[in-house]
Amino acid sequence: MFMSQRNEEDRKWKLDNGGFGRSLPFKDRINLQTCSIKIKLNTMVADMGFNIKAGSSSYLEKHPERRTTILENSYIVGMTLAAGIGGLLFGYDTGVISGALLYIKEDFRAVNNSSFLQELIGGMALAGAIFGASIGGLVNDALGRKTATIIADILFIVGSAIMAAAPNPYVIIFARFLVGLGIGAASVTAPLYIAELSPSEIRGGLVSANNLMITFGQFLSFVINYGLTRVNGTWRWMLGVAGLPAVIQFVFMIFLPESPRWLYLKNKKEESIRVLSKIYSSPRLEDEIEILESHMEKESASMVKVKYSDVFRLKEIRSAFIVGAGLQAFQQFAGISIVMYYSPTIIQKAGFKSNQAALFLSLIVSGMNAAGSILGIYMIDHVGRKKLALGSLSGVIVALAVLSASCYIMGHGHVNSSTLAWLAIFGLALYIAFFAPGMGPVPWAINSEIYPEEYRGICGGMSATVNWICSVIMSTCFLSVVDAIGLGESFMVLLAVCVIAFGFISIFMPETKGLTFEEVENIWKERAYGKDKNKESLAEQASSSN
């Protein structure tokens, strides 16, 4: 009798509270009831003819007191930093191999005598990253952002341990592939996780914080390479130390929550609200729940089954993917990978023959890249994604003009001038100063927010795969191109690519600053089907239909 009465109470509770159970603690049940009541009141207000702005960018204009800042909520900052460790691992491992390879050649004669083995050791992580990024999108959608991060950490830890203990170069190559899988998965997962827990007004800055961790990881790799030069087993320490941050992130992620948007999409509403209540305070909390509920109802009605073919078959998804993948491709074809990987070689070719001078100047370049990323965190949510990308490319074009001119004169004018050498270094520094705040974070930020929820993982994975493929192309072909046509001419090619990228962004990339995920989704629908198709935000459409 008691159990049947209890079940009837649970049934009534769920009917009155949007399908949620009574397993929540008492405090959370009260908050949930309050949310449910306010959502119903909003619906009543909408029926009376008032325009509900929850879920639209004008919402915060009407309620500026509900805005938040990056440092205002320590919970958001903590989750961002924990997720950003994946970016640090990404940056560290892509930068450390250049120094480690010098000592691997000393320990293994086969590597010293074979350029092919050297290329395999250096490039196998990039090959693994291509597979990791493509698979990572599917893992994100199926198992969640948290689980995908933990899997990436396990790959990092196992791969780093195997590299540190490797008895021969072939084991190193295998371990590099494992680590590459982790790098690829992390490059997809960290931006998605951060974007989905971030309020719209600070989303760009928080996603850019992940880019800062990438550049800091690259800078750290240069510092560690320099600091471990006199330690026994140098290369083993260089490659093995990457496992330590992965262990730290693994422990953090066990206690951190899943993405609230992913939880809600998977109908785990109670867990989602627990997370959202730590990010938003009332009354904005209720408004965010209303947006998610409207989105959930929409997706349930359409019963979307995500397939790779949809990315190219559906006009709105295809338009978004062209912009996202195009930004990732232009990020690499603008030359950032070769500047970071081969900066010592470029500096030597520019006239500085000393190894010590080249390494020191490369360390400065890497430090500028990290400093520029800090500036990008501020600018991306104040200036906007599109303006920041265009301004960044404008400076990069000027820098490449300086680099190409100075290197061309030295290469063809037979002028061995220290002035021209310093002018080339100035061009290199100018390139980093403009690239780092803009074209560094913008492609990752855009790809974390332009796709609908159900396609965000798969499209993010595909666009990250494009990035890694382009990185492989640039890093393996650049020096050969330099040998074939000259350093100055090679920079001219990059300059031409950047001009094309400027036009691409001007024409195709929308501004997403301050927009909700639902409003960004409507941009692509309007482009695909016309402006009359989606004039209202998702929450407004749900309200007007009740």
Q: Which pLDDT tens digit goes with each residue over 342-376?
A: 666 666 666 666 656 666 777 777 788 888 888 98
Q: Which residue has the higher pLDDT, 162 or 481?
A: 162
pLDDT at 45: 37
Q: Is there a contact between 185 and 133 (Cβ–Cβ < 8 Å)?
A: yes
d(CA 514, CA 502): 23
What is the DSSP code (8-state) at residue 202? G
* Residue 51 reports pLDDT greater than 60: no
Residues in contact with 161: Cβ distance below 8 Å, sequence separation at least 6, in sequence order: 240, 243
Burial of 6 (0-12, 13-18, 19+ CB in 10 A): exposed
pLDDT in tens, 119-135: 788 778 888 988 998 88
d(CA 177, CA 136): 15
Ranking 30-44, 183-197, 234-248, 354-368 by mean pLDDT, the lowest is 30-44
Rg over alpha carbons for the chain, rounded to the nearest Å, is 25
